Amino acid sequence: MLRRPGVCLACRNGEGNGTMSRFRTLTTLACAAALTAGLAACGGGGSTTGTPAGPAAEDIAAETARAVALAAALEEAKATRGDGRFDDTAHMVVPVVTAAHDGTAVAIEVSEDGTPQGGSARSGAFVEEDDGPAAIAGWTGARFARGEAGERLVVYTDVGAPEAAAFTPENLNRLAQVSGLSGDALPETGLAVVPAYYPLVASTSLAAASPNGSATHRSQGTGADEGLTFMGTFAGGTGTYACSGSACSVTLDDRGVATGMGGDWTFSPGSGAMVLIPDYHHLQFGWWLSREEGGPYGFQSFAGSTGIDAGSGAVSASMTGSATYRGAAAGVYASTDIAGGQVTRASSGEFTAEARLTAHFFGAQDAGEIAGELVSFRNAAGASMAGWRVTLEAAALSAGSASFAGTSEGTVGPGTSGSGSWEGRFHGSDGAESNARPSDVTGRFDVHLPGMQIAGAFGASR
């Protein structure tokens, strides 16, 4: 069994502090249930004299049911792989994460791409919840829910604040590239504002004239003076917008951002104008507890990158030496004890951890491999999970590929170990030369111990 003599797993993990949310942790409920039943998992003894009144029986039953459902989902996720590889074709649905940093805060949106195998696409949008996941330094996390079936999704991203760069043609084209915009090369002055750039246009003068929402402003004046001019920003840089003639118009939304412009517009940046270039190469990872109405839960972890070089990362035979990657991981666990066909104890929860990986590329002494470990585990409340560790055993690298896969080993305390699988891929590079090593790595993992399942994902950078 997965317990030390006289120690309740849920209590031992530091979760008995009143911090509970849905299936995230059984916490004090598991301990209360075990104490009431006199189970050895929480020290035995059978007596609860002096113990404060515990939670209601229906709450215990509900939390236990969630833990059992999660355990089943993790076991099923393992079974679908067959050959040990993570197999998304069993789900046919992939979460799509969009993250942006406006210089003050990070906004994360989630949608899905695909249709569940043997079923129709689930309806409803993912809605971000107020109680976010455990904090990880350098990463922004968000928790989402969808529908009445109890779907939950947690995602972390390392998207950074936008870069303030000089308002030059080079930097404007960098902005157009990372923003997925189109248009001709952008001049430093007299910038021609084309429809593709409308989302980058904001008024600081006309917006004040239409404070109650969307409004359209049109040409003013007569003859050679007819046209429209306003002060505003383009991609964060301040300057002047100008249009000549009778066909000039601009429609602004309630934020002062242009949604449409008529006529031929130009933007001239003011002295010292800066352009804000978003961080468009960033990592994300997380997990998704999915469910169709009336059906069982499904679990999948996910990890990847966003950016213009998101598809890069393939290693080559010319890469030599080593690279070390540091980052973070997050996931879930579920533990059950069964005796006589009945669940005698169940607990589940979330965790975060540090991710450390080292890649040895090709060369006379190196065969090409990557290995790592997940350490410093903490539960949803931020308390240390002593004894927890996952080893990502060496996985072979293949020239021409960014992907790799291997086996994992994990422990949750003395004498409690198990094995599983892990896989990942490289992203980006640290330069243009032939020996440019990948800049980032993401992946997912699981470990299966007697009576316990652990699964999650990670992201790390050089």
Element (H, E) at 441: strand 440-449
Element (H, E) at 215: strand 215-218
Domain ranges of the chain: 9-79, 88-160+279-461, 163-277
pTM for the structure as a whole: 0.75
Tell me the one-letter amino acid at 317: A
Note the pLDDT tens digit of each residue in 204-225.
888 766 656 678 899 888 888 8
Distance CA 387, CA 379 (A): 13
Q: Which of 24-33, 121-130, 268-277, 302-311 has the lowest mean pLDDT?
A: 24-33
Name the band, by pLDDT with cuts 50, 70 and 90, for residue 433. low
What would the pLDDT profile of 354-404 be if each residue is shown by its tens digit?
999 999 998 755 679 999 999 999 999 999 999 999 999 999 999 888 999
The one-character DSSP state at 317 is T
pLDDT digits (tens, 9 = 90+) for 115-164: 544 444 555 788 899 988 988 989 999 999 887 777 889 999 999 898 89
Residue 9 and residue 239: Cα distance in Å, rounded?
61
| DSSP code string of 258-276 | EEEEES-EEEEEPTT-EEE
CB atoms within 10 A of CB 170: 12
